[in-house]
Structure 1
Amino acid sequence: MDQPVAVPETALRLLVERGFDATSVDQLAEVLGMSRSTFFRRYGSKEDMVFADMDGVIEAVHAILAAPGRGLEDRVAAAALAVFDHHLGRRGASLLRFRLLREVPALRDRELVSTHRYERAFRHGMRAALGVEPGLDAPNLAITAYAASVVAVHNAFLRSWLTAQDDGLRTRLAAELATLAALHHPRLEGTAAGPAPGAAQPGPAVVVTVSTSGAGTDEVLAAVREALEGQDHPA
């Protein structure tokens, strides 16, 4: 996926070493080699800097879910693994941010907002792929459950990796995402336009008429038979 804006590891380390509240924007700007005004233009605030990569990662999730050429469940798994790989590929920054999250309540609140944004990205992508409008019908409830479970399972594996740095967890995450796909697939069937696979097809229409022309039963049956034969053999 495209490279999101990087969270500056040197600045995160300064926040960990000096304390989040005790570190000023001027000190962060100095360690990053920029002016205070440039820091605010680029990051907005200290909190925004800690999550500077989030917008780019969410955009990548949207792009993967919108990419054609493979099934929806495969795209969902690919998007979740791309987020996981983003954190593994920036090991130092990910570990420093994890430490800050444990120490700073305001950042933990911000992390909850990030979780909701990821769930919304998955819901939006699945709705778009299936042609489903937002609502509380069965397709939307199936999509909501699938998106929430994908994000929850991803976050559980990510927290485990941040604690143990076990790169083998990626393989286990991929397997668990496949399990989730199999679990949610039956509910997703038929959410796209058109009948669900295996759904009963509508039978031929039957029209009952009442004649007031005085025609007898034989004449009516003959007319019906002629009409049906005409449908079987269209001109």
Structure 2
Amino acid sequence: MTPTSAIPDAALRLLVEQGFDATSVDQLAAAAGMSRSTFFRRFGSKEDMVFADMEAIMDTVRRVLERGRRDPPGAVVDAALAVFDHHTARPDASLLRHRLLQEVLALRDRELVSTHRYEDAFRRGLDAAFGPRAADGDGGARIASVAFAAAVVAVHNAYLRSWLRSPADSIRAELAAELRALAHLFAPRFGGPAGRPGARGVEGDGAADGLAPDPGADGPRGRRPDVVVAVLDPSAGTEAVLAAVRGALEHR
């Protein structure tokens, strides 16, 4: 789990109850039990305070991706679950921040930047694990990394929104199952001669031979895998994302 963030619940609650623009730094510092100078040293600004845990989460994501080099898609799933665990570890703080994001446009914009950072970290983790094939122009591997990273973020965010509407312990297990199913769908795109034969595979998918597919599964030896891209509205739910990916794979 990501280390507990220093964001004080009392300060977040004050922003929600009193209004973001109407709340001064002095008031936030008092609510957090610190001086004005300490507040600025620790957070920098009101907006930075709301996202003070971002760097800690990103550090956790990078560590998880680095540890999972033998199974890159599985490592992305684990990293996404670590992000979910961080947000759900402190329900009050997460719910308060969610309310702020609904009310303050500038904070919603900042949250969008955070989402892109996760997506970029997942893509970079995949590219690094698959090496020259992704970095030096293999379009299939490169596009697969982009598509998988975006799909994981979309599914994660859909389940996190569901949890924010109605927190339930079962949501984490449902998210894990959906992400592993998504990784299973993408596994052939990351296989082949330049893949990672012998990787442990996607947990729970029943695969015994890791991410390396049947050599004949994609046609003649040496054929570059097809590229599958599904384009959806950013607000699409989990089922819509998975249905689009399944449909694209079935009709490629």
With normalisation by structure 2, the TM-score equals 0.74
Matched, 1:165 2:190: no
Amino acid of the residue matched to residue 143 of structure 1?
S
Rounded to whole Å, the distance in 2 between the matches of 1:57 and 1:28 is 23
Larger-Rg structure: 1
**Structure 1 pair 84/31, CA: closer, same or farther in 2 (3 Å)?**
same
Q: Which residue of 2 aligns with 1:114?
A: 114
Q: Which residue of 2 aligns with 1:212?
A: none
**Structure 1 pair 44/135, CA: closer, same or farther in 2 (3 Å)?**
farther
Q: Tell whether the 8 Å contact from 1:146 to 1:184 is kept in structure 2 after alignment.
A: yes
Q: Which residue of 1 aligns with 2:21?
A: 21
Q: C-alpha deviations, 1:140-175, integer Å up to 9, x for none?
A: 110000000000100000001000112211111011
Residue correspondences, number: 201
Worse-matched range after superposition: 125-134 or 144-153: 125-134
Shift of 1:35: 2.0
Rounded to whole Å, the distance in 2 between the matches of 1:194 and 1:117 is 26
| Match runs of 1:1-235 below 5 Å | 1-3=1-3, 5-68=5-68, 71-131=71-131, 132-133=134-135, 137-190=139-192, 192=194, 198=215, 200=221
Q: Tell whether the 8 Å contact from 2:144 to 2:190 is kept in structure 1 after alignment.
A: yes
**Structure 1 pair 185/164, CA: closer, same or farther in 2 (3 Å)?**
same
Q: CA RMSD of the aligned region, Å?
A: 2.2
**Which aligned segments of 4 or more residues in structure 1 are displaced greater than 6 angstroms?**
193-196
Amino acid of the residue matched to residue 187 of structure 1?
R
Q: Tell whether the 8 Å contact from 1:139 to 1:191 is kept in structure 2 after alignment.
A: no
Q: Which structure 1 residue ranges, 5 or more long, are not aligned?
A: 202-235
Q: Tell whether the 8 Å contact from 1:142 to 1:187 is kept in structure 2 after alignment.
A: yes
Worse-matched range after superposition: 31-40 or 93-102: 31-40
Q: Tell whether the 8 Å contact from 1:4 to 1:55 is kept in structure 2 after alignment.
A: no
Rounded to whole Å, the distance in 1 between the matches of 2:142 and 2:187 is 13
Amino acid of the residue matched to residue 81 of structure 2?
L
Amino acid of the residue matched to residue 29 of structure 1?
A
Rounded to whole Å, the distance in 1 between the matches of 2:123 and 2:22 is 39
Secondary structure at the aligned position of 1:34 is classed as coil
**Structure 1 pair 20/138, CA: closer, same or farther in 2 (3 Å)?**
same
Q: Which residue of 2 aligns with 1:223?
A: none
Shift of 1:58: 1.2
Amino acid of the residue matched to residue 10 of structure 2?
T
Rounded to whole Å, the distance in 2 between the matches of 1:90 and 1:23 is 23
Secondary structure at the aligned position of 2:135 is classed as coil
Rounded to whole Å, the distance in 1 between the matches of 2:18 and 2:169 is 30
Rounded to whole Å, the distance in 2 between the matches of 1:31 and 1:143 is 44
Shift of 1:127: 1.2
Amino acid of the residue matched to residue 16 of structure 2?
V
Shift of 1:96: 0.3
Q: Tell whether the 8 Å contact from 2:71 to 2:196 is kept in structure 1 after alignment.
A: no
**Structure 1 pair 74/193, CA: closer, same or farther in 2 (3 Å)?**
closer
